Structure 1
Amino acid sequence: MKFLGIDCGTQGTKAVILDVERGVVLGEGNAPHPLTEGANGRREQNPADWVRALVAATRAALAQAGSDGQDILGVGVSGQQHGLVLLDDSGKVLRPAKLWCDTESTPENQRLLEHLGGAAGSIERLGLAIAPGYTVSKLLWTKEQHPEVFDQIAQVLLPHDYLNFWLTGRAVAEYGDASGTGYFNVRTRQYDLELLRHIDPSGRLERALPALIEADQPVGRLRPEVASQLGINPQALVSSGGGDNMMGALGTGNSRAGQITLSLGTSGTLYGYSDEPRISEHPAVAGFCSSNGGWLPLICTMNLTNASGQIRELLGLDLADFTRLVAESPIGAEGVLMLPFLNGERVPALPTATASLHGLTATNLTRANLCRAVVEGVSFALRYGFDLLRDLGMPGDTLRLIGGGARSPVWRQLIADLMNTPVVCPVHGEAAALGGALQAAWCWSREQDRPESLDSLTERCVHLDPASRAEPDPARVAEYEAAYQRYRQQLRESYGVA
């Protein structure tokens, strides 16, 4: 039994073909899509580019798997969270989608946060503190900056919702991805319609919301023309799908309490499953719902491999040379400290912050120290978030690492030492796409009246790579603790962050 998993990310779309009976990935494909950036924090993409990439990635995965596509039983879509896709009443996209990393609507977010009574009021009402990048502020921004677009809105969708709409012709949402919109109560698992009426009293937005479905419910079957374009079985069932973090949880076996997943991707995320709401008083922790019926407390940083990649490109280094230089520099980079907030930051909450270098001298300004400083800087923000999850009672005996940064043995060891926690990588690194395929198999089995638990599917299909395991070294743990406390001190001095 074969299933297709799709992950539409910031830099491109990935596809995997999963044989769930044997628990193996048969084929993979990927295709890039462009990003529009602006100095004012604008980060946008054209949904048509997602569709083109989805088709290309799917066909590449089928070719690698040696499949004609007619044996694909289901499709599960993962999408980057928080993005805003607006459709008119004919299903046409009204403007480019504003993404999770877009901070152009920071002023609108602040005004909405004040309306909710600040971070504490937002947490009390929604179960989380709305942050720049969430969908809700993008709606207010659209109303004020593009009223002619706002007046045509008939559907408000997230990226994965839109791709499901393209696949099936049906506009729906599921609880995991919806919980990251900022107009959703994670405790009651319902939209906050009153907040949307505050933005637009006419009721346009609430009428444009997609209906919510459970994680194990199907969206529908493929449209015939889409099945032909993809080259797969037209009877394939499309599952609810979810946000990339929710699908990444499934793809790392994080479908029940006891695991923590850490993604070292464009952004950095840490999350773990809970079968009940876990609401933190700290605004950096988002008590999202999961895409398998529970909850997924999560922290997300805005800067990770985007920051390390820019330093690497600035210095004209390939990945191997960059990694070698990181390893050459000692822990603490001889006093060079980077606050790598190139795109503002969410953890800690500094949406308008800019990047800065501290501690430079005539002797420590080297390429190696700059390379290590950026890797340490983005990792320190993750440690900040990991401590918040531990304070919430989330177990983290081992961290399961995914994302591009997880391929680096140097970075894996750094994380193990900094977190004082063993780390290990799944064999298959495209966890969100794999999670989409697993959810599709789960949904399909229930539709066939022979339900298989998601836990049994992940146990069969998610494999860990023992060669990737890194254990914390006590001496290095102590050195990193000192470097991390210096980072915290600099945050206090620069931004007053406790």
Structure 2
Amino acid sequence: MPLVAGVDSSTQSTKVEVRDLDTGEVVASGRGLHPAVTAPRSEQDPESWWGAFNEAWAEAGAPDVDAVSIGGQQHGMVALDADDCAVHPAKLWNDTESDPDVTRLVEQLGGAAAWADAVGSVPVAAFTITKLSWLRRTHPDAWTRMQRVLLPHDYMTFRLTGERTTDRGDASGTGYWSPSAGDYRLDLLRLIDDERDWSTALPTVLGPMETAGRWRDAIVAPGSGDNMAGALGVGLRPGDAMISIGTSGTVSAVSETPTADPSGTVAGFADATGRFLPLVCTSNAAKVLDAFRRILGVDHAEFDRLALAAEPGGPVLLPYFDGERTPYRPDATGAMSGLRSDLTREQIARAAVDGVACGLLDGLDAMRKLTTLDGRVVLIGGGARSEAMQAVLAGLAGMDVIHADVDEAVATGAAVQSAAVLEQVEHAVIQQRWGLGTGNPVDGVDGGSIRERYAELRDA
């Protein structure tokens, strides 16, 4: 039977999912770990990603596939020399050391609105363009040696094919590719260095149905950023919203037209199909729940039981543990208000869930101002497996909420892309054939006045 593979090269690991082309059945999978990182300095040797891929591929049985695609963590900076060796460890999306460069770049172009008009997004420390500015400012020798710039998914595709390519979805998160114009904005890179020939430093942007090259006997699809691949994996449709709860939290939606938010809350990305994917990202999501589980000394099931047993009205948590991207507060820390001497373990667990949920729902509100949301909210990610998180979001979202029935949305979406490119059919054809886009409906719980109380603490 013909097989296709999807790869999720994330912050924490590389996951491989091998599927039957005709039925979509998962026939093999594997996983390889990446070095652990913690903001503000979040760096990895890109060679470690390749090692993790080979480990995951071997665990999946080193299958013979007809097509493969890479979904990778967005934004990261992979700066290479003339021999394609890294001049500095790759800067990841959650590295905030380039925060001083954000203000300078925004001011150089004339303000946030000018950036939103140029590339649909206002740069934050996550964006590649700010990391390039940081590299030149802090490591001039590495800057001199740098000849090419790739994103994490580009680097992995390059290791497979030997070709330097990217796709419109991942390119739209760099801060120097315009979703509305469909092209690089080299003038923005010249704000960093106006003597470098940037046209030779950047990968070719492939269309959704183009081929990046071949690996062994397999076609290699363009790949994309993890958020774009995740949208493919859950069959996200215009009008739907997707909330992903992983290390970070994201809220995204498929739009038929490009978006531009001068406030910087919503990033105006492209997707992997030819449409657009406006997105809000929070830096603190499942790791907040993990921290409170550790504090309480409980497993996932007991944490959910505690949170769901608490009545609304307990303490309020602002979960900005390691700085925050939305709202943009890179130096922030967490805060809790409403503490009383009769505080219970149940209230502590519920405060953690409510705090993460409210941050994500702020993103959903911002999304509604830019695009029509009249469908469902689809929950994905490890943190979305929490029954308490599902119930709180369903109670507060104002839309029907489902928990997606795919275990690895990014790897699944990459597999969808590999199958679509192999057969040269629309992605929706593969999604329908494989039965994607379904999930389990979630019943909500009473959130009380938590959103109003959260807003008071956030804006204090």
1:491 is displaced (CA, Å) by 1.6
Contact 2:122 2:262 in 1 (8 A): no
CA contact (8 A) 1:84 1:135 kept: yes
Conservation of the 8 A alpha-carbon contact between 1:153 and 1:204: no
Counterparts of 1:72-111 in structure 2, within 5 Å, are: 72-111=65-104
Shift of 1:310: 1.9
Deviations 1:288-313 (A, max 9, x none): 00111111111111110122212222
Distance in structure 1 (CA, Å) of the matches to 2:312 and 2:441: 20
Deviation at 1:469, TM superposition (A): 1.4
Native 8 Å contact 1:4 1:75 kept in 2: yes
- The yes-or-no answer on 1:360 pairing with 2:342 is no
- Cα distance, 1:461 vs. partner? 1.7
d(CA) in 2 for partners of 1:95 and 1:12?
20
Aligned position for 2:420: 442
The answer as to whether partners of 1:197 and 1:206 remain within 8 angstroms in 2 is no
Uncovered stretches (5+) of structure 2, i.e. residues with no partner = none
Matches within 5 A, 1:87-236: 87-222=80-215, 234-236=216-218
1:242 aligns with 2:224: yes
CA apart distance, 1:462: 4.0
1:316-360 Cα offsets, whole Å, 9 max, x none, are 33222222222222234x1x1111111211222222211111111
Please tell me whether the aligned partners of residues 390 and 396 of structure 1 are also in contact (alpha carbons under 8 angstroms): no
State the 1:393 CA deviation. 2.9
- After TM superposition, give the deviation of residue 280 of structure 1 in Å: 3.1
Matching residue of 1:23: 24
Report deviation, 1:23. Answer: 2.4
TM-aligned CA deviation for residue 314 of structure 1: 3.0
Is the 8 Å Cα contact of residues 423 and 470 (structure 1) preserved in structure 2? yes
Cα deviation for residue 276 of structure 1 reads: 1.9
Q: What does residue 228 of structure 1 align with?
A: none
Q: Give the partner amino acid of 1:456.
A: V
Identity of aligned residues (%): 37
Deviation at 1:205, TM superposition (A): 4.0
Match of residue 458 from structure 2: 491
Q: Distance in 2 between matches of 1:260 and 1:169?
A: 36
**Measured at CA, do residues 129 and 460 of structure 1 come closer, stay the same or move farther in structure 2, by a change above 3 Å?**
same
Structure 2: how far apart are the matches of 1:117 and 1:379?
Answer: 34
Instruction: State the SS of the aligned residue for 2:190.
Output: helix
Alignment partner of 2:328 out of 346, 349, 372: 349
Aligned to 2:291, what secondary structure does the other structure show? Answer: helix
AA in 2 matched with 1:89: A
**What residue number does 1:397 align with?**
375
2:436 pairs with 463, 466, 469, which one? 463
Q: Aligned equivalents of 1:191 and 1:427: distance in 2?
A: 37
Counting only pairs closer than 5 Å after superposition, residues 269-348 of structure 1 correspond to structure 2 as 269-332=250-313, 334=314, 336-348=315-327
Q: After TM superposition, give the deviation of residue 20 of structure 1 in Å.
A: 2.5
Taking the aligned partners of 2:166 and 2:302, their CA distance within structure 1 comes to 44
Give the 3 Å change call, closer, same or farther, for CA 330–58 of structure 1 in structure 2.
farther
Letter in 2 for 1:104: E
Give the counterpart letter for 1:50 in structure 2.
W
Displacement after TM superposition at 1:465 (Å): 5.7
Deviations 1:360-402 (A, max 9, x none): 12112x3332222122111111110101111223224311111
Per-residue CA deviation, residues 432-481 of structure 1 (Å, 9 max, x unaligned), is: 101111101111112xxxxx221111112243565x311346xx25x1xx
Of the three residues 233, 239, 243, the one matched with 1:258 is 239
Matching residue of 1:449: none
Aligned residue identity for 1:358 = S
Please tell me whether the aligned partners of residues 4 and 20 of structure 2 are also in contact (alpha carbons under 8 angstroms): yes
1:145-180 deviation line (CA, Å, top 9, x unaligned) = 111111111110000000001111111111110100
Quote the offset at 1:207 in angstroms.
Answer: 2.7
Where 2:257 maps in the other structure, the secondary structure is: coil
Bigger shift: 278-287 or 291-300?
278-287
Could you say what secondary structure the match of 1:262 adopts? strand
State the SS of the aligned residue for 1:163. Answer: helix
* Alpha-carbon spacing, 1:206–1:372, altered in 2? closer, same or farther (3 Å): farther
For 2:41 and 2:389, how far apart are their aligned partners in 1?
30
Q: How many residues align?
A: 459
Q: Give the Cα–Cα distance (whole angstroms) in 1 for the partners of residues 381 and 37 of structure 2.
A: 22
1:408 deviates by 1.9
Contact 1:427 1:462 survives alignment (8 Å): no
Distance 1:465 1:457 in 2: 14
Counterpart Cα distance in 1 of 2:351 and 2:318: 9
SS at match of 2:290: helix
TM-score, scaled to structure 1? 0.89
5+ long unaligned stretches in structure 1: 63-67, 223-233, 447-451, 494-498
Q: Distance in 2 between matches of 1:153 and 1:176?
A: 24
Q: Check whether the contact 1:143–1:150 (CA below 8 A) recurs between aligned residues.
A: yes
Local SS of the residue matching 1:394: coil
Q: CA deviation at 1:431?
A: 0.6
Length-normalised TM-score, structure 2: 0.96
**TM-fit CA distance, 1:206:** 4.0
SS state of the match for residue 263, structure 2?
Answer: coil
Is the CA contact 1:428–1:462 (under 8 Å) kept in the aligned structure 2?
A: no
- Structure 1 SS opposite 2:421: helix
Q: Render the CA deviation track for 1:129-153: whole Å, top value 9, x for unaligned.
A: 1112111110011011111111111
Whole-angstrom distance in 1 between the partners of 2:435 and 2:99: 38
Contact residue 88 and residue 154 of structure 1 kept, 8 A: yes
Aligned to 2:353: 375
